[in-house]
Structure 1
């Protein structure tokens, strides 16, 4: 084909972002519990980014709170510990902006749920 001057373009399949994968995982847990399968990497991503509104929008955060009710063992303990330490950092900081207030509100909800 090269000899004839025909150029073949490779079609790159767009891979879903980690955010899309995690949110799809959460949606699957909520809407298709019988077909849903636990995935540690998705849960870890959600736990790391759950306070960031741009990564976990409000409509998914409410689902995430229901998901967190079933959190067990060390994942639950570590989540509570991290939430408490982040809250202390915010309490000790003098700067307050709207994103910080939104994160604090999410942290409070998580702490209320898991404590």
Structure 2
């Protein structure tokens, strides 16, 4: 199928969109900004340039000035950044313990978060991750555990108990925690 050419626009305003002349007042104020006293000669002072070339040249120079200004501001901001402290990201342990304490307080903003629960279930036997002061709260949380998470927690506690019994060492704090979890969930 052959393409049809559009007829040329008969509206004189549409035809001369590209050839619009810039307002002379704005150019004068922009030139004062671009060329402070004692600066380089304005491209509009060059008699060999057409008005269109002058506008293009002015735009380019204006763009360069803006770029230099942004760079200067960026450098000033970079110099101030080391003095300001950036807030440190919270560790997963802190986030999970806050989640657990929020549950214990029955806060309105508390909602179930699988990643936090998973972290607690994986690290519940490690004293350095879940301190003794929070372990009793964790046991209360585990009472409401349902489904596959409950079954896997029981299996994990049983496996840990068997492993620690086989090693024959004195009962460790980890073994005591596993025993408490088994008593609660079995």
1:100-115 paired onto structure 2 within 5 Å: 101-115=172-186
2:143 maps to 1:69: yes
* Counterpart in the other structure of 2:126: 52
Q: Which residue of 2 aligns with 1:85?
A: 159
Cα offset, 1:40, TM superposition: 0.4
Cα pair distance change 1:46/1:2, threshold 3 Å? closer
Give 3-state SS (helix, strand or coil) of 2:81's partner: coil
Which sections of structure 2, spanning at least 5 residues, go unmatched? 1-72
- With a CA cutoff of 8 Å and minimum separation of 6, indicate the structure with the bigger relative contact order: 1
Distance 1:64 1:102 in 2: 15
When normalised by structure 2's length, the TM-score is 0.56
| Counterpart-to-counterpart distance in 2, 1:8 and 1:35 | 37
State the match for 2:20 in structure 1.
Answer: none
Once the two structures are TM-superposed, the CA of residue 56 in structure 1 deviates from its matched residue by: 0.5
2:81 paired residue number = 9
Listed as ranges, the gaps of 5+ residues in structure 1 are none
Change (3 A) 1:7 1:87: same
Task: Select between 44-53 and 11-20 the one with higher mean Cα deviation.
Answer: 11-20
RMSD over aligned CA atoms reads: 2.0
Aligned in 2, Cα 1:3/1:25: closer, same or farther, shift over 3 Å? closer
TM-score (norm 1): 0.88
Q: Which has the larger radius of gyration?
A: 2
Q: How many pairs are equivalent?
A: 112
